[in-house]
Chains A and B, each alone.
Chain A
Amino acid sequence: MADRRRALIWFAALLALVFAGDRVLAWALDQVLVRSHFRFSRLYRGGNDADILILGDSRGVHSFYQPEIEKLTGLRTFNLSYNSMSTRIAEAVLRDYLDHNRAPRLVVVEATCTITEGALAGELRTYASFSPRLAALYAEGHPDGALEGRLFHLYRLNSEFYLEALHYQTRSDQDWINRSTIPPGLRNRQPGLWSLPRPENLEALNRIVTLLNQRGIEVRLVIAPYWPVPVNVPAIANAIDVSVRLVDPQLHALNYAGAVTDPEEFADGVHLNERGSVALLEILHRDGVFAIHSAAPR
């Protein structure tokens, strides 16, 4: 009996220690999170006053090199894109941005994020405590994870987002870009078929456009370059155009899928590298994609 009594006391001590440590460590690590210069920490800390806001998945990250946009346009730019960020998640992030920061004058959406599934949703738990929208998206796809996050606060910090936040403790992440060149094995690939936009993402894109139009914020939809260009890019662009026309008849996707033709300017088949991004941005700037025509938004 003595052993069993000792075990009970020991288990009680273990539980107390685990939960106390969980709360104390999570609080300490949260302080590190909110002080980071990682894009989502900056978003929720507030105080950003970008003129141009970029939204998209990894193609948005590596096609829209923020320092180059600022150099070309002279306008403050904030790239909120992130790997595997679907349009549904982008919508939540945009709404949060508008809640916490001064509204931008132009939002550029890399429109192939309408193809992206919700793979990033699993990461959202890290910022879920800052955003009911992200918390809802996370709980929708990960009900068990949401419960675990409520039970153990440390679990919320178990994410790539948190690692990024650690990495960008002392400097901005806005110069994040691929700097490698496409491996030989991918260079000579034949053009293939790419997935078509997902209905729930097209609906989210329509809501984004509606919101931005209501707020007087200009919006551009851009399809960034591929190597090689998928044969069904016109169909992808058409699906986006047909959908978005329901809420804004003037708006359509600007197809730059074949705008960069040198494979040395790609990091892989779907991502530009720094050189490629600079080349694309020069073309976009020349074509007036970053031109802002309206007055400052309401």
Chain B
Amino acid sequence: MRFNSLAFLAFLPLFAAGYWLTSGRVRLWFMLVASLFFYAWWDWRFVFLLLFSSVVDFALGIFLENEQDDRRRRLLIALSIAVNLGLLGFFKYFNFFVTSAVDLCRSLGLPASEKTLHIILPVGISFYVFKTMSYTIDVYRRTEKAERDLLRFTTFVVFFPELVAGPIVRASRMLPQLQRDHRFRFEQMVSGLTLVAAGYVRKVAIADSIAPLVDIRFAHPEAHNALSLLLGVYFYAFQIYCDFSGYSSIAIGLARIFGFDFGINFDRPYFSRSFSEFWTRWHISLSSWLRDYLYIPLGGNRGGRWATLRNLFITMLLGGLWHGASWTFVAWGALHGIYLVAQRLLAPAWNRVINALRIPALVSNAFLVLLIFHLTCFAWIFFRASSFANAWQVLSGIVSVHGPQLAGLENRGRIAKCTLMVGILLAFEAMAFLPKRRKAVFATTEGEKVTVSAHPLEASPALRLLFIAACIWVVLIFGSFTGNNFIYFQF
């Protein structure tokens, strides 16, 4: 079930009613069944895979906690990782590895026949596998207690807001929140609805409005001139950002309505002044996962300069592969790896130049934001392209001398609309810079109200009322109601 479907609009109030009318274990059962229904709406057969993954990691978590022998514990965690990566490898990468191996053999002149399977990628597998895998790793490291309640653990894995496209909420954050009943709180509901409304604007009004303009350019790059293709790439940068951050915003908002805190997943990434900053602002739950469960186990920055650079590169390369079974995603990850490595190598020289020339911080920061944004856009070409040939067509079209002319832009009305949509996005982003007020807003997991700094929108229910109404009007006027899938569903 997609958040932007009529089915979900019917599901949500029913879920809310059931959730608030129940408590204790009945509520956990309700959350579990409703979440499985939400998932089964797409394909009921994969519900069993989801339950299998949950039960295996639940059992392995308990074994890991009970076991004292280090060798056996290593075997158990290896089993957990093998099961999780095995699921991911089979459903997501089997055909990719087979065709890649066959291509390699053929390029070496060796005989090879291609035998791929018709495998359907279960929606959200990359997300829930990472979630359960991090749980067993945490139990193995003894930084997390094993959950002994199968109902609670399975509810943690399948809770519908984050099930199919994240954010990857870890057990250490989520399980404690499932140990108590959340009471209905007006402030939380309004705050959550604000995030949900903002998420729908990002997805339905901005990302889905931009999508057709991008799609046609990547489908037929030969039919577009340099300026048109360049616009396509810029718009894609905003499309994927709004698509995914929109989903995250809806997921986090829904969770907040029901009293759960998922943290944040995006924090204005296109304002980053470095790639390391970009990766602390883009898909935060994944980048922090890769940091904690891949980069640091590889050695992190503990093995000297070159080992650090190697670890950074490997982490980004595998992060690219996580996104999809295609070499274009690997190239995208490799590019980000190269960016991070280059940044480490060049940053000292850059700082010396800035200091020597006494360039004001505002100017150098603006330059860096633009530089990072453009290099990110360059990498997006590989992320969006259907193949290397397609990426090359787009790139060669952009640098071709033919027709960098405004007159060659078809359908200027749509381009004007997309530009307006980007303007709305920037207005959203600018709201984060509004001066903050103090106001009691959220309840903690212990049920206490805490006073936090919040910008005026958070501080005033009346302003939030207006904001949500404005979001609905924007979606009505500009939204695309063709039921486009979220881009990250394919991952």
Q: Tell me whether A and B are bound partners.
A: yes
Chain A residues at the B interface, C-beta cutoff of 8 Å? 2-4, 6-7, 10, 13-14, 17-18, 21-22, 25, 29, 83, 144-145, 148, 152, 154-155, 157-158, 160, 163-164, 167, 178-181, 183-186, 267-268
User: Across the interface, which residues of B come within 8 angstroms of A25, CB to CB?
Assistant: 473, 477
**Quick one: given A7-B189, A183-B402, are A14 and B465 in contact (CB under 8 Å)?**
yes
CB–CB B402/A21 < 8 A: no
User: Across the interface, which residues of B come within 8 angstroms of A148, CB to CB?
Assistant: 481
**Quick one: given A7-B189, A163-B416, are A183 and B473 in contact (CB under 8 Å)?**
no
User: Across the interface, which residues of A come within 8 angstroms of B403, CB to CB?
Assistant: 180-181, 183
Known: A2-B186, A18-B473, A183-B403. 9 other contacts (CB 8 A): A3-B183, A7-B190, A13-B465, A22-B476, A25-B473, A25-B477, A163-B416, A186-B223, A267-B410
User: Across the interface, which residues of B come within 8 angstroms of A21, CB to CB?
Assistant: 469, 473
**Quick one: given A10-B465, A180-B408, are A152 and B413 in contact (CB under 8 Å)?**
no
CB–CB A184/B402 < 8 A: yes
CB–CB A152/B476 < 8 A: yes
**Quick one: given A22-B476, A152-B476, A180-B408, are A160 and B469 in contact (CB under 8 Å)?**
no
Answer yes or no: B414 CB below 8 A from chain A CBs: yes
CB–CB A18/B222 < 8 A: no
Answer yes or no: B167 CB below 8 A from chain A CBs: no
Closest to A271 in B: B410
User: Across the interface, which residues of B come within 8 angstroms of A268, CB to CB?
Assistant: 223
Give the CA-CA distance A3 to B447 in the complex, in Å: 14
Answer yes or no: B248 CB below 8 A from chain A CBs: no
Chain B residues at the A interface, C-beta cutoff of 8 Å? 6, 183-186, 189-190, 221-225, 400, 402-403, 405, 407-414, 416-417, 461, 465-466, 468-469, 472-473, 476-479, 481
CB–CB A183/B417 < 8 A: no
CB–CB A160/B407 < 8 A: no
User: Across the interface, which residues of B come within 8 angstroms of A163, CB to CB?
Assistant: 413-414, 416-417
CB–CB A158/B222 < 8 A: no
User: Across the interface, which residues of A come within 8 angstroms of B416, CB to CB?
Assistant: 163, 167
User: Across the interface, which residues of B come within 8 angstroms of A152, CB to CB?
Assistant: 476
Closest to A167 in B: B413
CB–CB B417/A154 < 8 A: no
Give the CA-CA distance A35 to B222 in the complex, in Å: 39
Closest to A5 in B: B186
Distance in angstroms from A260 CB to nearest chain B CB is: 18
Give the CA-CA distance A267 to B479 in the complex, in Å: 30
User: Across the interface, which residues of A come within 8 angstroms of B184, CB to CB?
Assistant: 3-4, 7
Distance in angstroms from B269 CB to nearest chain A CB is: 29
Distance in angstroms from B389 CB to nearest chain A CB is: 13
CB–CB A3/B185 < 8 A: yes
Number of A-B contacts (CB under 8 A): 89
**Quick one: given A179-B407, A181-B403, are A158 and B472 in contact (CB under 8 Å)?**
no
> Which of B184, B402, B413 has the largest number of chain A CB atoms within 10 A?
B413
User: Across the interface, which residues of B come within 8 angstroms of A167, CB to CB?
Assistant: 412-413, 416
Some 29 contacts from A to B, beta carbons below 8 A apart, are A2-B186, A3-B184, A4-B184, A6-B186, A7-B184, A7-B190, A10-B190, A14-B468, A14-B469, A17-B469, A18-B469, A18-B472, A25-B477, A83-B411, A144-B6, A154-B473, A158-B479, A160-B411, A160-B414, A163-B414, A163-B416, A167-B412, A167-B413, A178-B410, A180-B408, A181-B403, A183-B402, A186-B222, A267-B410
CB–CB A180/B413 < 8 A: no
Closest to A9 in B: B186
User: Across the interface, which residues of B come within 8 angstroms of A144, CB to CB?
Assistant: 6
CB–CB B461/A22 < 8 A: no
Give the CA-CA distance A164 to B479 in the complex, in Å: 17
CB–CB A160/B413 < 8 A: yes
Distance in angstroms from A171 CB to nearest chain B CB is: 14
Distance in angstroms from B429 CB to nearest chain A CB is: 24
Closest to A180 in B: B408
User: Across the interface, which residues of A come within 8 angstroms of B6, CB to CB?
Assistant: 144
Contact of B465 among A3, A17, A185, A267 (CB under 8 A): A17
Distance in angstroms from A83 CB to nearest chain B CB is: 8
Give the CA-CA distance A180 to B478 in the complex, in Å: 28
CB–CB A164/B476 < 8 A: no
Closest to A185 in B: B222
Closest to B183 in A: A3
**Quick one: given A3-B184, A3-B185, A167-B416, are A17 and B466 in contact (CB under 8 Å)?**
yes
Give the CA-CA distance A16 to B5 in the complex, in Å: 24
Closest to B414 in A: A160
CB–CB A157/B477 < 8 A: yes
Closest to A176 in B: B412
User: Across the interface, which residues of A come within 8 angstroms of B413, CB to CB?
Assistant: 160, 163-164, 167
Give the CA-CA distance A157 to B466 in the complex, in Å: 21
CB–CB A154/B476 < 8 A: yes
Closest to B6 in A: A144
CB–CB A180/B407 < 8 A: yes
| CB-CB nearest 5 A-B residue pairs | A185-B222, A180-B408, A179-B407, A154-B476, A3-B186
Distance in angstroms from B134 CB to nearest chain A CB is: 34
CB–CB B473/A22 < 8 A: yes
**Quick one: given A158-B478, A164-B413, A185-B223, are A180 and B405 in contact (CB under 8 Å)?**
yes
> Which of B223, B417, B476 has the largest number of chain A CB atoms within 10 A?
B476
Distance in angstroms from A79 CB to nearest chain B CB is: 17
User: Across the interface, which residues of A come within 8 angstroms of B472, CB to CB?
Assistant: 18
Distance in angstroms from B201 CB to nearest chain A CB is: 13
Distance in angstroms from A22 CB to nearest chain B CB is: 7
User: Across the interface, which residues of A come within 8 angstroms of B189, CB to CB?
Assistant: 7
Give the CA-CA distance A183 to B183 in the complex, in Å: 62
Distance in angstroms from A137 CB to nearest chain B CB is: 18
**Quick one: given A7-B184, A17-B469, A21-B469, are A183 and B479 in contact (CB under 8 Å)?**
no
